[in-house]
Structure 1
Amino acid sequence: MNRRDAIRNVALLLGTAISASTLSALEGCNPKAPENYALKAPETKSLLAEIAETIIPKTDTPGAKEAKVEDFIVTMLNDCYKTTDQQVVLDGMKKIDAASEKQYKKPFVDITAEQKTALLTEIDKERVAYNKRDNKKEGDPTHYFQVLKELTLLGYFTSEPGATKALRYVAVPGKYEGCIPYKKGDKAWAM
C-alpha cells in the first residue's frame, strides 16, 4: 500500500476526506528539505498545541496535547509543504491570535477553553465559506484552518494515544472476521 492510499484510508476511518492539497503535500514529503525555523519557535508550537487541543480536547481519552500533535504538525509542515503553504499557515495562526486579541483582549493561548472553541468555530465558518466561494481559481491556497484541522486529525489518530485510546486497537489480530457486530457508541477501529 502506498502512502496516499494509507492516508486516504485513515481519512475514511475518521469519517472525513483529506483535501487534495494535503494529499499532494504528503506525497511530496522530503525530510531533507530546508527547515522553516519560524515553525519551530516555542510560541508557534505553543499556539499550535492550543489550537489542536481545542479541535481535539481531552475528555475520557487523551487530547491533542497529550498526543503531541503540535510536533507532528511542525514536522509535516517542514517536511511536506512548500514554503508558500507554510507561510499561509503561519499567517493564519497570526490571524487567529489577532482575532483573539480583538475579541477578548488576550492572545489565543490565554483565553478560556469556551472562548477558544467559539473563536475557532467562527474561523471554521470562514473556512467553509472560503471553500464554497464562486470565484475560486486554480492554484488558490488551501485555507489555513483546513490544513490545521486535517493535520490535527491525522496526527492525533495516527499517534499512540489516538490509535489505542480513542480508537479500538488490536495489536496483532488473531484471525480475519469479515463481519463484526457494531453497537451504537462503539469506537471505530484503528488501522
Structure 2
Amino acid sequence: MDRRELIKTIAVLTGAAFVGGELFLSGCKGKKDLLFSNNDIAFLDEVAETIIPRTNTPGAKDAEVGKFMALYAADCYDNTQQQLLKQGIIQLNTASKEKFKQPFIQLSTEQKQSLLSGIDGAAKRQHNTDDTPHYFTLMKQLTLLGFFTSKAGATQVLRYLPVPEKYEGCIAYSGETAWS
C-alpha cells in the first residue's frame, strides 16, 4: 500500500468515525417528550413545599424540587410508576376539590397540610395491605430525595463540610442535624 492510499484510508475511516459519532451523539441532543407539563411541575412544587416548607432555612420550592421530581420520574421510573404519579396529581386535585371546593394550589397552607396528612395516612394503610406504592408515597420520597440532594438542602439545612476531615467511626450522637 502506498502512502496516498494509506492517507486516503485513514481519512475515510476517521471521517466515518466522526460521522458515526455525530449520528450516535445526536440522540443525546434531541428533545425528549415531556412527561410532565409546567402546570404539573408547579403542582409538584406546591406539594413539596407543603412537605418541606420554608422556615429559617430554604424550602422545597427554593430547591426547585418540582423540576427534580418531574425529571427523575421521567428518567428513572418505569411506566407504571410514571402513570401512578401522573394520576396522583389528578387524584390529589380531585380530593382537594371534594374537601375544600378548590384546586390544591389555591388552598391555604393549613388546608394543604390537612389534606396531605389525610392522604399520607391512607398511603400508609395501603402500604400495609398492598405492594403497589401509593402516589403520595412516591411524591414524598421524591420530595425528600430532591431536597436533600439539592445545593440548598445539602449546604443550608444539613451540616455541610466541603473538605472531609479524618474518619472517626465512633462518635457520640448529641441530637444535632444530619450531615450532607
Q: TM-score range with shorter-chain normalisation?
A: 0.7 to 0.9
For residue 107 of structure 1, what is the amino acid of its counterpart?
P
* Structure 1 residue 187 corresponds to structure 2 residue 177: yes
Distance 2:169 2:34 in 1: 47
Over 3 Å counting, the alpha-carbon distance change for 1:159 and 1:118 in structure 2 is same
Amino acid corresponding to residue 91 of structure 2 in structure 1: K
> Is the partner of 2:169 in helix, strand or coil?
coil
In 2: Cα distance, 1:130 partner to 1:35 partner: 34
Q: Between the two structures, name the one with larger relative contact order (CA 8 Å, sep ≥ 6).
A: 1
Question: Aligned pair 1:94/2:90, yes or no?
Answer: yes
Q: How does 1:52-131 map to 2 (within 5 A)?
A: 52-131=48-127
Deviation per residue, 1:24-60 (Å, 9 max, x gap): xxxxxxx99x955241x11101100000001111111
Report the TM-score when normalising by structure 1. Answer: 0.74
Q: Which runs of 5+ in 1 are unaligned?
A: 1-30
Separation of aligned partners in 1, 2:107 and 2:56: 23
- For residues 1-191 of structure 1, what are the structure 2 equivalents within 5 Å? 35=32, 37-39=34-36, 41-133=37-129, 136=130, 141-184=132-175, 186-190=176-180
Amino acid at match of 1:159: S
Q: What 5-or-longer segments of structure 2 have no aligned partner?
A: 1-27
Write the distance in 1 (CA, Å) between the matches of 2:168 and 2:81. Answer: 42
Question: Take 2:125 and 2:94, find their aligned partners in 1: how far apart are those partners?
Answer: 20
- The question of whether the paired residues in 2 share the 8 Å contact of 1:85 and 1:141 is answered with no
Alignment check: 8 A CA contact 1:156 1:162 kept: yes
Alignment length, in residue pairs?
Answer: 152
TM-score when scaled to structure 2? Answer: 0.78
Cα pair 2:35 2:74 within 8 Å, conserved: no
* Alpha-carbon distance between aligned partners in 1 of 2:132 and 2:34, rounded to the nearest angstrom: 21
1:35·1:78 contact (CA, 8 Å) conserved in 2? no
AA at the equivalent of 1:187? T
Q: Secondary structure at the match of 1:37?
A: coil
Residue identity over aligned pairs, in percent, reads 44
CA distance in 2, matches of 1:144, 1:103: 19
